[in-house]
Amino acid sequence: MLYLRKLGTRDLLAQLFGINTSTLTRAVHQVQPLLAEYGCTIPPSTARFRTPADVTAFLANSSPTKIKPAC
């Protein structure tokens, strides 16, 4: 979901989750058909991150918000 929202590169997301990019790519390819089957579209985020430090800085400066469902 984070990759589909374009929050970060595959390299960054794989690093954050402690997996390799191949595993992340497989997961994305498995999730996309399920989302399409249920008519869920994932809008891109306005936030973009390139490094773990970018994520940390963003979280440190953001106020708690209500989580919205993806679908």
For the chain, domain boundaries: 1-43
User: Assign residue 6 a region: left if phi > 0, alpha if psi is -120 to 50, beta otherwise?
Assistant: left
Report the predicted TM-score, pTM, of the whole model to 2 decimal places: 0.68
Band (1; pLDDT cuts 50, 70, 90): confident
8-57 per-position pLDDT tens digit: 989 999 999 999 999 999 999 999 999 999 999 888 888 889 998 988 88
- 54 token code pair: 């970018």
